[in-house]
Amino acid sequence: MSGTAGDTPALSNIAYDDLVVGERMGPYTETVSHDMAARLAGPIGEPQDVDAVPPAAYPILFLKALRRSMGGIPAGSVLAKQELEFHGVLAPGSDVSIVTWVGDKQVRRERPFVTIEFDIRDAGDRQIVTGRKIIVWPTGPSEESV
């Protein structure tokens, strides 16, 4: 699946059973504008001059890719953990491509955990950030799949 930003819903309705582990989605192209980088460097929304994209931009890029791949985070979900690995420094104004996939899904202590992986690269295919969100999904496996 590939494309540009569009009118996607803010919240996903994807059921736990419909999540396919390992199925890659994207690449989705996003631009990290100078304005976006500047507004995430200091107190949120208060622009600061920056020479490089600040770390706070990457959870937002995760979110944008998630919205484009599966319509966003499902209503009622809980973001439990987030991990980021930094591989390269990005200049403000750069385009990035983001690939995302479900890395894992499993029920632990009766709670359905879903791991969504992200791979962010610059226009030259240089890896910039990888990471994942671990989300408690609002619905678990159906009785038929248990």
Partner 1 sequence: MAGGEFPAVTDRVTQDGIDAYAEISGDFNPLHVDPQAAAASEFGGIIAHGPIALHAFFRSATTWLGSDALPPGSAVKVTYRAPTRPGDDVTCEVREQRYAGGDGATEVDAECVKQDETVVVSIKAVLTQP
User: Which residues contribute to the site for partner 1 (CB under 8 A)?
Assistant: 10-11, 36-37, 39-45, 50-56, 59-60, 63-64, 67, 72-73, 78-90
Residue 7 makes CB contacts below 8 A (sequence gap 6+) with none
Beta carbon nearer to partner 1, 27 or 30: 30
- Give the shortest CB-96-to-partner 1 separation in angstroms: 14
- Give the shortest CB-133-to-partner 1 separation in angstroms: 9
Residue 74's DSSP bridge partners are 12
Beta carbon nearer to partner 1, 17 or 103: 103
Q: Where are the beta strands (DSSP E) in 9-88?
A: 11-12, 24-32, 73-74, 78-86
Q: Where are the beta strands (DSSP E) in the chain?
A: 11-12, 24-32, 73-74, 78-86, 94-108, 111-122, 127-136
Beta carbon nearer to partner 1, 17 or 56: 56
- Give the shortest CB-84-to-partner 1 separation in angstroms: 5
Beta carbon nearer to partner 1, 124 or 145: 124
- Give the shortest CB-31-to-partner 1 separation in angstroms: 12
Assess contact for 129 and 58: CB atoms under 8 A: yes
Token pair for 102: 């479900």
